Structure 1
Amino acid sequence: MFTVQQIEEAHARVKTGADFPKYIQEIKGFGVSAFEFIVSNGVEVYHGVGSFQVQSPTKYETQDISPSVNKQQFAKELKEHQEGKSDFPYFVKMCAENGIASWKVDLEKYTCTYFDSEGKKLLSENIPA
């Protein structure tokens, strides 16, 4: 199975959102079937075959998630991120400011779904293969 170190090495090659599809292909090749990202502290939980799972350590000091969701602003900045106009630290900060608490990437369905602090699905999109 895969390790957090393998995934973090692959993630280190991601400079902007434009690099995300290639990253997804690479970690899928390791056996990752899905992963969740927790915006407040950067913890990632990776899922593999069966119930295999690994979790990254906390990546940064806890940041507050806005209690009010600004879906329109988030969607605008998400698009800009995907076009390569922002880096990952900025994207995470922007998520928190717009009420995005987590996201889940399903590598079987090639979708990324964003959630608020109450677990409500806010936006789901297809990932280019």
Structure 2
Amino acid sequence: MKNQQRTFTADQIRKAHSKVKSGADFPTYIQDLKKLGVTHYETFVSDGHTDYYDVNDHIIRLAAKYPTLNIAQTPNKEGFQTQLKAHQEGKTDYPTFCNDASKSGIKKWVVLIEEMTCTYFDKANNSILVEQIPH
């Protein structure tokens, strides 16, 4: 049975996100979101806004984080995988990663908390890459 109240707040999400300094911190961030009751979320590369969902599909939207980026029409999967690896190793910060993703044609990513997956999509909503999140 679904819970009838929202299980997390925007402030709780911001607090969890404030601990993330690089892609290397991502698995811990996902665990923190899971504890809050987030079931999945979508981050949009164009401006960095993110929609967080609970078990009832209530949405909490965190506003844009940076000026609008243009998303490349044609995805570059190989280039993106190289950029993603560098970010996950802590070699780039979040704004750099988002800028790199936009140039590689990544429109958004969707994280499914229970499945521990992160899927990256192009402008046509085609799945470009599905990653298992370490836990």
Q: Do Structure 1 and Structure 2 share a fold, with TM-score over 0.5? A: yes
Amino acid in structure 2 at the alignment position of 1:52: H
Give the Cα–Cα distance (whole angstroms) in 1 for the partners of residues 99 and 55 of structure 2: 31
Indicate whether 1:24 and 2:30 are aligned.
Answer: yes
RMSD: 0.8
- C-alpha deviation, 1:57, in angstroms: 1.5
Report the 3-state secondary structure (helix = DSSP H, G, I; strand = E; otherwise coil) of the residue aligned with 2:99: helix
Map of 1:33-72 to 2, 5 A cutoff?
33-72=39-78
Give the Cα–Cα distance (whole angstroms) in 1 for the partners of residues 38 and 22 of structure 2: 21
Q: Tell me which moved more, 63-72 or 105-114.
A: 63-72
**In structure 1, which of residues 109, 112, 116 is the aligned counterpart of residue 115 of structure 2?**
109
**1:8 aligned residue:** 14
1:38-96: CA deviation from partner (whole Å, max 9, x where unpaired)? 00011100011122221111222211001121110100110111111111111100000
Give the Cα–Cα distance (whole angstroms) in 2 for the partners of residues 84 and 51 of structure 1: 32
> TM-score normalized by structure 2?
0.92
Give the Cα–Cα distance (whole angstroms) in 2 for the partners of residues 62 and 49 of structure 1: 30
Matched pairs, number: 129
* Percent identity of paired positions between Structure 1 and Structure 2: 44
Q: Tell me which moved more, 57-66 or 115-124.
A: 57-66
Q: Which runs of 5+ in 1 are unaligned?
A: none
Q: Tell me which moved more, 119-128 or 56-65.
A: 56-65
**1:87 aligned residue:** 93
Q: Which runs of 5+ in 2 are unaligned?
A: 1-6
Give the Cα–Cα distance (whole angstroms) in 1 for the partners of residues 65 and 90 of structure 2: 22
Give the Cα–Cα distance (whole angstroms) in 2 for the partners of residues 38 and 89 of structure 1: 13
> TM-score normalized by structure 1?
0.96
Give the Cα–Cα distance (whole angstroms) in 2 for the partners of residues 30 and 73 of structure 1: 34
Please identify runs of 4+ aligned residues in structure 1 that moved more than 2 A: none
